[in-house]
A and B are shown apart, each in its own frame.
Chain A
């Protein structure tokens, strides 16, 4: 089956929620990937919508990029609401 494509599967569990990555399937084409994903990941009402994407089409961050990519956001505490102190009299904001 190595000649079959590996697809990543994303399932929307309920209307209004995001699609979430749940795993992968092998399939000969897109349609079969959807059918296999349905059989494999939604046997118990786990979803209302499925996306399949060839794994090779996904571009991901590399693990050694973790620091240069994500560390800069760590020292920007002023981006969070809790950074700003307001007197109690102002009430909930």
Chain B
């Protein structure tokens, strides 16, 4: 089996440069590549375009890159819960492209699947469709959306093997599998890195073919954004 393992985040992020476009997995703070984000902060690369459903909170997730003004443009579907983001957006320091969540997911998937563009009903008749080609199919209107193009995809999985096969847990899966498909270089950090043969091939969510580099992550905080519980009766 082809071995994709690299030693750590530092090695995994080799080749990352200013001005690049990245995809970062996660929904809210769930399933975000914590180790890769820390390393991006450490490297201090700037003028980044980040494709990620959300933009973290002030002091965690992509908020850490925003604090250091490393992001030039965000492509997201929802960016609440982040004061620094709001400040940079309103002052014009940060460019923001808001797109429908399903369109974001499909533009990632299409990118990895060799589909340059696709028609979706989402956003037809709204400002999201402005300047885009529209077309009728079976009496309904659709908007042409294009696949993304990203140099790196940073993905977080629960378990992965040395060949890059991945298993996700719970709703931490979210955008990670499509971004794994789409990155020219897909960097995966896992909570548990195992040898080949330990994962059941029937249970693999993302086949290793999509993964270029994988490493054992460390010090996961896995912060909960909205802790909502019931008290025991």
Q: Do A and B come from one complex?
A: no
Binding site for A on B (CB under 8 A): none
Interface residues of A (CB under 8 A from B): none
